[in-house]
Amino acid sequence: MLDEKLQTYLDSLIPARTGLFAEMEAYAKEFHVPIMEPSGMEALLQILRIHNPKTILEIGTAIGYSALRMAEALPEAKIITIERDEERYREAEKNVEAAGASGRVELLLGDALEAAGEVGPFAPFDAIFIDAAKGQYQKFFSLYAPLLRAGGIMVTDNVLFKGLVYGREAESGRLVKLAEKIQGYNSWLTGLEDYATTIIPVGDGVAISYKKR
């Protein structure tokens, strides 16, 4: 999470989204659906372009915004994405169909903490993107890490949590507890011997974990 003026400047350099993506952003804003911040999204897409994964697992579809951005940036990639909220899942279905991406984006309805068996047949994955319930990040990582191939990357969004993990004062006790969980996850993640992890302070904080060969 960068200085506000610097973040505003960097965001101003990102080309405005048009068409379906602009519509999805407007929908997310109106209905308070969390989607990745612009600079974080661009960082994720650039990392994936460099890594060039052919198979991606996304934990937390929401309305399909990140999945479709990844599909556009990586035309040869197959994306499996899980969402537990049925209303958002149905909205994601409509968006994937509107984008003409039904053949490359596979939507699964269910709780990611219970869906490993359903996801297993699609493995191994070259990349896994975690952007779901923040208090469950460590469980998501541990559950799906075995499905990530050696040399693959695990990407986690929101690891700086609006600055609450490193000093900004929380407005409620619930946020304090959630920030503590994310801070615990960050410490655990960066200490894993089988992964090389760095946290990039863009958007709301993006952790990149490389699975050592």
pLDDT of residue 2: 58
Q: Beta 125-130 vs 195-200: how paired, if at all?
A: unpaired
* pLDDT (tens digit per residue) in 23-57: 999 999 999 999 999 999 999 999 999 999 999 99
157 is in an annotated binding site: yes
Percent with pLDDT over 90 in the chain = 85
Q: Is 16 exposed, middle or buried (0-12, 13-18, 19+ CB in 10 A)?
A: exposed
131 is in an annotated binding site: yes
Question: Would the pLDDT of 1 be above 60?
Answer: no
Is residue 197 a contact partner of residue 210, using CB atoms and an 8 Å limit?
A: yes
36 is in an annotated binding site: yes
30 vs 182: CA distance, rounded Å: 27
112 is in an annotated binding site: yes
Dihedral (Cα; 81, 84, 88, 93), 10-degree rounding: 40
119 vs 138: CA distance, rounded Å: 18
What is the 8-class DSSP label of residue 15?
P
158 is in an annotated binding site: yes
Residues 6+ apart with CB under 8 A from 28: 34, 35, 62, 63, 65
* pLDDT (tens digit per residue) in 103-121: 999 999 999 999 999 999 9
Q: How far is CA 193 from CA 83, 164, 205, in A?
A: 30, 26, 22
Lowest mean pLDDT, pick from 88-97, 112-121, 159-168, 180-189: 159-168
99 is in an annotated binding site: no
pLDDT of residue 10: 87
Query: For the whole model, what pTM was predicted?
Result: 0.95
Topology of the domain covering 4-211: Rossmann fold (3.40.50)
- Position 8 confidence tier, pLDDT thresholds 50, 70, 90: confident
Q: Over the chain, what is the mean pLDDT?
A: 94
pLDDT of residue 213: 84
pLDDT of residue 7: 83
**Higher model confidence: residue 28 or residue 169?**
28
